[in-house]
Amino acid sequence: MLAAFANTLRIPELRKRIGFTIGLVFICRLISMVPTPGVNWHVLEDAASRMRETGGLMGWFDVFSGGAMSHCSVGFLSIWPYISATIVIQLMTAVIPTLERLSREGDTGRAKINQYARYLTLVICVVQSYLLATGLESADTLKQFGINVPLVDPSFSGLPFRLLTVLAMTTSTMFVVWLADQITQRGIGNGSSVVIMVNICSRLPTTIFVTWQRYFSVGGENVFELVLLLLVGVLVVMGTVLLVQGVRKIPIHSTRRVVGSKTYGGQSTYMPLRVNYSGVMPIIFAQPILTFGGGALSKIAPEAFARWPFLQSCMSGLQVFGARLSDMGSGLHIGCYAALIFFFSYFWVATQFNAVRIADDLKRNGSYIPGIRPGMGTAEHLDQVMTRVTFFGALGLLTVAVIPQVLGGLFHIPWAISSFFGGSSLLIIVGVALDTLRQMESHLLMRNYDGFLKYGRMQGRRSM
């Protein structure tokens, strides 16, 4: 494998692509370090460090933004508005006939859909950056995070600060989106996924420092715990690779056709159905719902319903329920988290996996599944297989997702460490790394070099 990595530098085109990708990633990281004008980011960094220790949505977002939240940088939103817009467009494609027709028109239709995603990204950036600027000025919002001093310079607050924040963050996000497109076209890997992976990996130095303080400083924890953690980390990474790479192979036969003097078809192949078809989407959907839902319920004031004893008792129960739901180590939180992951796994498959279209395409091309009637029979068979496969995919996804919460809640491992032992962070890192290595391997094999693996082959994954 080391020889294969050395060979990547011997191919001029591949060497240029790798250098180009590293250069643009460096620019993306610089953007995430430039503070927003008028914000006292030193105070915000102290509050963000406390939020990272407890995990939750803010700690999760700080990891995915590559620490941009701690500095309230102009790259605070990073590429996530574009990811959100892409997800919305994908979901709308399943229910809007116009978008569905565009998705079947090849490169032209996909380019049009991508243009719609850019417009929606712009709208999301404006809305999110304006709400963020308003929240930074609000004293009530800051007190919820333990910040008792103004974050915005009083002489600069108001409409000028909000407009400047909207302009700076929107421009930065659209520029990062453009850089991600350049990585996809002229670099290595899917640009959007690479940017997110680099943001996550940028927190590794902090993780290493926290680990050193916990296990090697004077009065630190038992080093035996660190050995167990490393063993768990190796097993989790192995399981994550299997989850990302796992497919259910459906045999496909094509009928033999004779056109003139040539014979077409008559071949046997297979259709790969991914075990984790929904990728990291269920975790991305489930975590904010639990955090916002639990936080909203825990803020209920039962004393406001003192006139109605029964209603007051109900509100008091909801308040306790919300507090337990917000506790990442509680059984209630993990149970609801599991239910939401299963729900969104099946929801994503139901909206994105079109068995009827696949069956029609197979029938049109003269292909069939042995022993299954073409047409609706094939569609029903694919639905049944995908339903069973999705169950095991959701079960594996749940296992990977709850490991950081179990480590933090039961074993009191800091969030800076436990967040890299599972969850969406590890899934994204493994998936993007495999996809990038697959592209590099294709360049090597095309020029008669050995690949990264002597046995088997490396499968890619769908981009986010």
Does residue 2 carry a pLDDT above 70? no
Q: Which pair of structure tokens corresponds to residue 73?
A: 């940088």
pLDDT in tens, 103-134: 888 778 888 888 999 999 999 999 988 988 88
E strand intervals along 147-299 = 247-254, 257-259, 262-264, 268-274
φ, ψ of residue 264 in degrees (nearest 5):
-120, 150
| 275 located within any domain | yes
The reply to whether 319 and 259 lie within a common domain is yes
284 plus 381 within the same structural domain: yes
What value does the mean pLDDT of the chain take? Answer: 80
* Residue with the two structure tokens 């169950």: 391
Regarding whether 364 and 238 lie in a shared domain, the answer is yes
Same-domain status, 376 and 232:
yes
**296: Cβ–Cβ under 8 A, 6 or more apart, which residues?**
322
Measure the CA–CA gap between 272 and 397, rounded to whole angstroms: 19
Identify whether 448 is part of a domain: no
Give the CB-side neighbour count of residue 389, counting CA atoms within 13 A: 22
Residues 234 and 167 in one domain: no
Residue 212 lies in a domain: no
The pLDDT of residue 53 is 55
AA identity, residue 178: W
Q: Any idea how long the chain is?
A: 464
Residues 281 and 349 both lie in one domain: yes
Taking the complete model, does pTM exceed 0.85, yes or no?
no
- pLDDT 10s digits, 21-32: 999 999 988 888
Q: Is the pLDDT of residue 55 over 60?
A: no
**167 pLDDT above the threshold of 90:** yes
The reply to whether 394 and 331 lie within a common domain is yes
Residue 147's pLDDT band, with cuts at 50, 70 and 90, is low
Q: Is residue 325 part of a domain?
A: yes
| Residue tagged 């915005």 (tokens) | 152
Cα(354)–Cα(290) distance, integer angstroms:
29
Quote the CA–CA distance of 104 and 96 in Å, as a whole number: 13
Q: How confident is the model at residue 463 (pLDDT cuts 50, 70, 90)?
A: very low
Q: Is residue 253 part of a domain?
A: yes
Element spanning 367, H or E: strand 367-368
Same domain? For 198 and 251 the reply is no
Please check whether residue 409 is in contact with residue 330, taking contact to mean a CB–CB distance below 8 angstroms.
Answer: yes
- Residue 251 phi/psi, 5-degree rounding, is -65, 140
What is the number of domains present in the chain? 2
Q: What is the CATH number of the domain that holds 284?
A: 1.10.3370.10
Shared domain check, 383 and 244: yes
Residues 288 and 401 in one domain: yes
Q: Which domain holds residue 232?
A: 219-418
- Residue 452, in any domain of the structure: no
Model confidence at 444, pLDDT cuts 50, 70, 90, reads: confident
**What is the average pLDDT across 159-187?**
91
**Same domain, yes or no: 153 and 291:** no
Q: What percent of the chain has pLDDT over 90?
A: 12
The DSSP code for 36 is P
**In angstroms, rounded to a whole number, what is the distance separating the alpha carbons of residues 316 and 5?**
60
Does 428 reside within a domain?
no
376 neighbors 360 (Cβ within 8 angstroms): no
Is the separation of the CB atoms in 36 and 203 below 8 Å? no
Is residue 210 within 8 A of residue 418, CB to CB? The reply is no
Is residue 195 a contact partner of residue 78, using CB atoms and an 8 Å limit? Answer: yes
Residue 434 belongs to a domain: no
CB neighbourhood size of 236 (10 A): 20
d(CA 68, CA 71): 5
